[in-house]
Structure 1
Amino acid sequence: MRRDSFPHWGSLLLAGVLSVALIACSNPDPRPAARPESAEARFMQVIAHADDDLIFMNPDLTAGIRAKKPTVAVYLTAGETDKPDANGYAAQRQAGTRSAYARMAGVPDRWRAELLNSDPDHGVELYTLDGRPEVQLVFVNLPEDNDPRANGGKHALTRLWQDSAEALKLHTLTPTGGKLPRSYEYSRGEVIDLLVEMFRRFRPTVVRTQDPSPDPRYQRNWARFNDHPDHVMAARLTGEAVRVYQRSGRAAVELNYRNYNVADAPVNLAPGVQRDKLEVFGAYVPHDPEVSLGEPYDGWLRRQYQRWPAGSSWAGTDEDGSLYAFAVRSGELTYWRRTGATWSGPAAVGGAPLNPGLSVAADARGRLHVFARSRDSEDVVTTSPGSWTWTKLGSPNDRVLPGQRRAVGTPVAAKDPGGALVVFVKNGGGGVSALRQSTSDGWPTAWLDLGGTDVQDGLAVGPGLTVAASTRTEVLRWKQQGEGFTAEAPIRAPRPAGAPVTGGGLLAYPVEGSGALAIAAGADPVVRQGTEGLTELGLAVSGDLVTLYGRRIDGSLTVGVGRGANLTWSELRGPVLTQPAAVAGPDGVTLTAIGEDGRLLVATAPPGGTFPAWTAVG
């Protein structure tokens, strides 16, 4: 067994606390947050190529379309690569996309095509599905990364993103038989303006896009970005457009999806979902001679992973009894607050731009602390209601990977038995690191490395500061002892396919290949039948009662309530978009979730009881 201890800082403690205090900064009072313009759920995905959404955003994409939610896809490049007949190949790929969308919608592959003028100088192709007119496709037709004929040569979208001087102009293709009367030219700012105009026109409540910062542990054959450059640039351009859109007073929830590196992760879709996804992509394949249902596509199609897990600890109770729920909107901390029985919000805090994924925990005085990651500096940062002063806690990579700050995971925080807060993250080396609060208001800068390798994002921390983390083959565990942590025997079977949860004597995680729940209660895990396809788990402990839940593809929750592993299961229907949070209190357990319309959803069950239907807030 390995045991690691928090450093005894001595003179370093004072220096560390002072350095943290010097970089803290205060923010103005919170202000009302921008809200989605539409009162109904509306999806938009912005992707680089005509098959990216089918491969990397499904089954989420299919679920929304089959639920008849308005869905618009925006494809930035023509996907022509270096084909001699670039416009002909671009048209083939468009036809494949239309066929796959018609398959998802369950109607014939017939579309109305038109030129959509986004402004006096730019036009895009718009296709509307005849049998389901709420399904629409937009093709911008910028040159693809591998096209040497683009202005300036290959890597066009990368060069455009990097051109803050706006000197570069890229010329669009004109797909054969399409609706573009001519080629249009775009600067970096004009692409962002185009996306903002698409948001204004179609009013999405949710914007799906690709991975702006792929994990550097994987896909090293793509040396510069660890993914196809167009995927990364599409995500970065979309993220910037979402922030511009927010500054205009409107908002959308931005979701990022992993791309090529899902092949390096366990299969996390249920067998029936895998078959359905393969059949949808099978409608695209006959139109594109460069793809197939074999490898590498088969591996990608059996998985779907969001880039940053939301976690299940983004809501908590402050010292005055107020219940807070937090989210990151367009890089900005946003919160809702319940005082008594009344909810207010959303309100925006401002300050450091953040990556998605938050955790909250109350200190020994009951004061709530919010933990996140700065998008600019990659530091772990923290703030508290009331003061809203941001404090940088540094990065564990300064110790485990000096000079490299990428690939630090979403923080998870908890209070240790001594009353001090401890924040945990996956570090860039693939292990777990922790930082322990030194005083009620101070933090050191020396992170502790707990060890571990191949840790995936989404840590779990239970009572008594027990820590669990999934790798691609096993679940690692640690337990606090004194000032340090002791590694416990890992769980090697069944293999995990996602982040674990722990508490109340239970440890649960989704199983590779099926997504069914494996539940361990002091013994070897038992796979519970009927829970296939669950993702984004959460767990709350209230007295001797455990509430365990997971999200299904259709946005509903499967919820188990009971003692130990003796849980009574029920379904909580509703349009839950991402991983819910759970807060245990004297009135029972309150679940909070973000809905597909961008609003907060709340449901409270009395101790041992069932949850009522969701109530929308804000």
Structure 2
Amino acid sequence: MALRLLRGKDGRLTAYAPVTGGVARWTEDRPGGAEWTGPWLIEVSGRLAGLTVVQSPEGYAHLVGLRHRPGGAGEPTRVDIVHATQFQSGRPLTAWHSLGTPHPKDPRKAERTGPPAAAVDSSGALRVFVRNAGGGVSARRQDPKGTWERWTDWKGMHVLGGMSAAATADGRLELLAPAGKGAALRWYQPKPGAAPKRGEDVPADARPDSASMVESSPGTLTHYWRDARSGEVMAWRPDSPAPAPLGGATGTGPVAAVRAVVDGHDCTVLAHQDPASGGLAVAAHPCEDEAAGVWWTPSGEQGAHTPALALDGQGRVVLAALALDGKLLVARQKTDERGLALQAWTRVGSG
């Protein structure tokens, strides 16, 4: 489960990481500052087997997790999706609310529910997506007033773990669900506020739990995943003739991505866990120009894992990760050097 890094309306960054007992949270004391408060434990009854954190246009942070709790003697594990909201940086969250699963009457099927993906569309509605027991996609929507609708079946089949969801700046939602048989399933809103529809399958032979995406130009989302055979990072957009290889075959898990200015150029910055270097690797390339070449550079201390990327209140790239001891590691973009140079890593709080 990846670390999540969000910038609030007040410009402060907040990092979220699943830990024993719930979710750890760290928050900048001031926008772009070196001091952080945390970790603060957001307690969850049971165990989170999956967590995503997404942000609304108002800056609200929605935490959505897949919770496992022990069943009674001879009974299956109790599984449900839980949700909580943080309305302001550094403030307490609402209580966790159970969304159940697409299989409320069949605990055995509920056990096969996959980890959630989520996104907020232009209307302010939060949608939560999971792989259901049949290998398709189920979704549940919270309307802008906070009312939850029922689970709906979005169909699909052979879906693997680790779907990826996001929305463009104007609120047009997309969902990518890696599936078997060398394809990924895609749903999208043709325009903000439109009903989501199924798109053509994406030519992606993707590893489970490797999908991610970022808005690489206004209204366009670039999707990333790892090739199932080579492990190489692949990039694809709806106008792409074919997925573009980006190297990074020694890495694991999804890549973190953020759009940023590097040397005055509009770039996509990428980071992933790289066992070959013992920590993380970082790369950057001009937005939507993967053919320009991508070079992965080792970064971070030994054992650093689950990277996240965001822009701070001063517009600098911030790379965050977890250390082996559970502390938060943070490195910021240098503004006085050419290229994507990062400052020395700082360690935040205790794990």
The TM-score with structure 1 as length reference comes to 0.45
In structure 2, the CA distance between the partners of 1:362 and 1:512, relative to structure 1 (3 Å rule), is closer
Q: Say whether 1:466 aligns with 2:159.
A: no
- Aligned pairs for 1:5-84 within 5 A: none
Between Structure 1 and Structure 2, whose CA radius of gyration is higher?
Answer: 1
Secondary structure of 2:154's counterpart equals strand
Residue 226 of structure 2: aligned partner: 510
Offset of residue 444 of structure 1: 1.1
Offset of residue 311 of structure 1: 3.6
- Aligned pairs for 1:433-448 within 5 A: 433-440=138-145, 442-448=146-152
Residue 279 of structure 2: aligned partner: 555
Offset of residue 577 of structure 1: 4.5
- Aligned pairs for 1:395-410 within 5 A: 395-398=100-103, 404-410=109-115
Offset of residue 600 of structure 1: 0.9
Residue 384 of structure 1: aligned partner: 85
**Whole-angstrom distance in 2 between the partners of 1:576 and 1:490:** 36
**Whole-angstrom distance in 2 between the partners of 1:451 and 1:526:** 28
Structure with greater proportional helix content: 1
Residue 21 of structure 2: aligned partner: 331
2:195 is aligned, of 458, 465, 484, to 484
Offset of residue 599 of structure 1: 0.9
- Give yes or no for contact 2:141–2:150 (8 Å, CA) kept in 1: no
**Whole-angstrom distance in 2 between the partners of 1:402 and 1:330:** 24
CA deviations 1:415-474 (Å, max 9, x no partner) are 21223222222223222222222134x231412322221212211123221111212332
Residue 7 of structure 2: aligned partner: 317
Secondary structure of 1:598's counterpart equals coil
Residue 250 of structure 2: aligned partner: 533
- Give yes or no for contact 1:354–1:372 (8 Å, CA) kept in 2: no
Residue 99 of structure 2: aligned partner: 394
Aligned residues: 305
Q: Say whether 1:374 aligns with 2:67.
A: yes
**Whole-angstrom distance in 2 between the partners of 1:427 and 1:330:** 26
Residue 430 of structure 1: aligned partner: 135
CA deviations 1:470-529 (Å, max 9, x no partner) are 123322211124453211122235x2224222222422211122211222243101223x
Partner AA of 1:569 in structure 2 = W
2:37 is aligned, of 344, 356, 365, to 344
Secondary structure of 1:404's counterpart equals helix
**Whole-angstrom distance in 1 between the partners of 2:272 and 2:144:** 36
Residue 602 of structure 1: aligned partner: 330
Secondary structure of 2:79's counterpart equals coil
**Whole-angstrom distance in 2 between the partners of 1:403 and 1:389:** 30
In structure 2, the CA distance between the partners of 1:436 and 1:445, relative to structure 1 (3 Å rule), is closer
Q: Say whether 1:569 aligns with 2:295.
A: yes
Partner AA of 2:113 in structure 1 = V
In structure 2, the CA distance between the partners of 1:415 and 1:542, relative to structure 1 (3 Å rule), is farther
1:417 is aligned, of 122, 136, 141, to 122
Q: Percent identity?
A: 26
CA deviations 1:374-404 (Å, max 9, x no partner) are 2224221122343423232423423796863
Structure 1 unaligned regions, length at least 5: 1-309
Structure with greater proportional strand content: 2
In structure 2, the CA distance between the partners of 1:605 and 1:475, relative to structure 1 (3 Å rule), is farther
CA deviations 1:242-265 (Å, max 9, x no partner) are xxxxxxxxxxxxxxxxxxxxxxxx
Offset of residue 583 of structure 1: 2.1
- Give yes or no for contact 1:321–1:339 (8 Å, CA) kept in 2: no
Offset of residue 343 of structure 1: 0.6
- Give yes or no for contact 1:400–1:429 (8 Å, CA) kept in 2: no
- Give yes or no for contact 2:311–2:317 (8 Å, CA) kept in 1: yes
CA deviations 1:280-339 (Å, max 9, x no partner) are xxxxxxxxxxxxxxxxxxxxxxxxxxxxxx146x22123433321112221322211112
Offset of residue 616 of structure 1: 1.5
1:611 is aligned, of 314, 326, 342, to 342
- Give yes or no for contact 2:257–2:270 (8 Å, CA) kept in 1: yes
Q: Say whether 1:354 aligns with 2:47.
A: yes
**Whole-angstrom distance in 1 between the partners of 2:113 and 2:82:** 12
Partner AA of 1:454 in structure 2 = H
Offset of residue 368 of structure 1: 1.8
In structure 2, the CA distance between the partners of 1:502 and 1:329, relative to structure 1 (3 Å rule), is closer
Partner AA of 1:406 in structure 2 = E
Partner AA of 1:433 in structure 2 = S
**Whole-angstrom distance in 2 between the partners of 1:373 and 1:348:** 17
Secondary structure of 1:484's counterpart equals coil
Partner AA of 1:547 in structure 2 = V
- Give yes or no for contact 2:82–2:100 (8 Å, CA) kept in 1: no
**Whole-angstrom distance in 2 between the partners of 1:437 and 1:424:** 12
